[in-house]
Structure 1
């Protein structure tokens, strides 16, 4: 049993000079620089080695680090995969099936690009206010001011306005009404065909198979990218089974399947279900080191890429010291 540093990535791309310079992610060159830093101070491990550590007492090296990538972006094939091969490092990629197979945008990504497309976030908020007021009776909603007072609180690197939009449209409202609002805003501000945008944004099946063949680990991130802890038992089972069927078709070894909770949405019930389905590892979005005990195997914390230096010449930070 040991602690390891598991790092979580999402967008890895050329951001500043792109169509959407406000997208929050990691510049490709900074990813390369971060890998140089990690190679100096950590020991890269594979997901399979972590599984062996949990279940077969395999001894991981000191200062072990594992790289994970969520949401199935084409960034991971175009930008990440070649660099990982260059450094001889495995990445673990957690893919929502709907985005890759059905070319449908995840709501979370629609929200990212709505925010990136509109400089004045108050325009979005005024639209939301209008839509909430017009949907109050149909969906039994509170007044707009109730939601704004509850949710508009500055947090981490986001303004109160951005946090309000994210929290309202990602979690606060019921799935049907928030989907309706997100679709309206996406159509208004992006003015682009959703299917074509999805094909541009996400991996395709050929790329997934090539990454798997190239030594990468491919894991479960659900079908729809729903909050797993909000699903009924039969809905969660369907969500996981659809994902496992996809992974099997891609050529993944289902006897060693792993998962990353969408939005970090775990609970005791979800953990118990994953254990029944023989999930080997599951990663949360809790900012912490991961522990390789069997008890913690489905509640493994991760560090955000922003917790780790992006300068290969810097000294290790506090996370490194804790993993000694």
Structure 2
């Protein structure tokens, strides 16, 4: 059986006007890995691709470490810890950040939320009609997805990520973002560069996080196909290595549907990763593997011993 632990941000501190960017420090990351190392064996993407069926069928505990978004702090802070402990990893990156030289809208939102309260943020986008009425159903759904956020923050994130048209959202967020940040500076500071991406790929540490950072399960077939194929082809050409794993942005059931899995197989992926919590066994769909948030794993701040 396979347990996958997923991470995003890793830095020495997360100080901000408003808590919006969360993650682990390098020390906490290292301590958690050491704890997991005593509970089972770590596998790599190569192990998964070559021996995935055996790993999933086994009653032994196997662990896989993943990071989403291709952030420079992952390369600077996480990779050295992993190399010190001889633990492999898959870091999933978006091709848009390199091909289009654009900051992903999701990260623009993270940065803006670190400066603006949820109320202030909502007020800046309140002219959109679909944000004016917030039903109990929306609140309930938002809180079921963003279980670690307060109600106001969960609703804001749900509306931005699942209820706003992508094109409209990008335009609105860009206007707000440009008032506070220089996109080129953020691009260079936030993401790994191409040289670092190539280095990771040679170690078997690179996977696709699609082209844009969109919940692709909400898109049509042509759009999903582009998101999956373009990222794969771009990174394969850049690195001269095969990209056979993909992590679906957001990873919720809405973002990683059976249709997404079908198209991912067609695009040439062998394994796909969601954010649905759970252990993977022989009954798991290889293109819809479960992943735990690192905070839910042993050593994580939300872990509860049953």
Q: Which TM class, normalised by the smaller chain length?
A: 0.7 to 0.9
Counterpart in the other structure of 1:67: 65
Cα contact 1:9–1:304 (8 A) shared by 2: yes
Deviation, 1:303, is: 0.8
Structure 2 SS opposite 1:14: coil
Counterpart in the other structure of 1:275: 265
Counterpart in the other structure of 1:147: 134
Give the Cα–Cα distance (whole angstroms) in 2 for the partners of residues 148 and 195 of structure 1.
Answer: 38
Give the Cα–Cα distance (whole angstroms) in 2 for the partners of residues 56 and 42 of structure 1.
Answer: 15
Deviation, 1:68, is: 0.8
Counterpart in the other structure of 2:51: 53
Give the Cα–Cα distance (whole angstroms) in 1 for the partners of residues 53 and 261 of structure 2.
Answer: 17
Give the Cα–Cα distance (whole angstroms) in 2 for the partners of residues 207 and 44 of structure 1.
Answer: 23
2:197 to 208, 211, 236: 208
1:193 to 174, 177, 182: 182
Counterpart in the other structure of 2:226: 238
Counterpart in the other structure of 1:299: 288
1:308 to 293, 297, 305: 297
1:123 to 105, 120, 125: 120
For residues 294-317 of structure 1, give each alpha carbon's deviation from its aligned partner in whole angstroms, at most 9, with x where no partner exists: x61111101110012338xxx994
Structure 1 residues 102 and 316: CA distance shift in structure 2, 3 A? same
How many residues in Structure 1 have an aligned counterpart in Structure 2?
297
Counterpart in the other structure of 2:7: 9
Structure 1 residues 20 and 79: CA distance shift in structure 2, 3 A? farther
Structure 2 SS opposite 1:291: coil
RMSD: 2.6
Counterpart in the other structure of 2:155: 164
Counterpart in the other structure of 2:172: 181
Higher relative contact order (CA 8 A, sep 6+): 1
Deviation, 1:252, is: 5.4
Cα contact 1:4–1:289 (8 A) shared by 2: yes
TM-score normalized with structure 2 length: 0.87
Structure 1 residues 223 and 143: CA distance shift in structure 2, 3 A? closer
Q: Which deviates the most, 85-94 or 154-163?
A: 154-163
Structure 1 residues 235 and 19: CA distance shift in structure 2, 3 A? same
Cα contact 1:72–1:99 (8 A) shared by 2: no
Unpaired runs of 5+ residues, structure 1, are 133-140, 319-324
Give the Cα–Cα distance (whole angstroms) in 2 for the partners of residues 176 and 269 of structure 1.
Answer: 22
Cα contact 2:2–2:63 (8 A) shared by 1: yes
Deviation, 1:142, is: 4.1
Give the Cα–Cα distance (whole angstroms) in 2 for the partners of residues 167 and 76 of structure 1.
Answer: 26
For residues 137-184 of structure 1, give each alpha carbon's deviation from its aligned partner in whole angstroms, at most 9, with x where no partner exists: xxxx3461x136553455522112111221111110111222222223
Counterpart in the other structure of 2:274: 284
Unpaired runs of 5+ residues, structure 2, are none
TM-score normalized with structure 1 length: 0.83
Give the Cα–Cα distance (whole angstroms) in 1 for the partners of residues 65 and 99 of structure 2.
Answer: 24
Cα contact 1:54–1:292 (8 A) shared by 2: no
Structure 1 residues 42 and 55: CA distance shift in structure 2, 3 A? closer
Give the Cα–Cα distance (whole angstroms) in 2 for the partners of residues 210 and 61 of structure 1.
Answer: 34
Cα contact 1:46–1:90 (8 A) shared by 2: yes
Give the Cα–Cα distance (whole angstroms) in 2 for the partners of residues 54 and 143 of structure 1.
Answer: 43
For residues 237-276 of structure 1, give each alpha carbon's deviation from its aligned partner in whole angstroms, at most 9, with x where no partner exists: 222221122221233542x611111111222222112222
Cα contact 1:103–1:199 (8 A) shared by 2: no
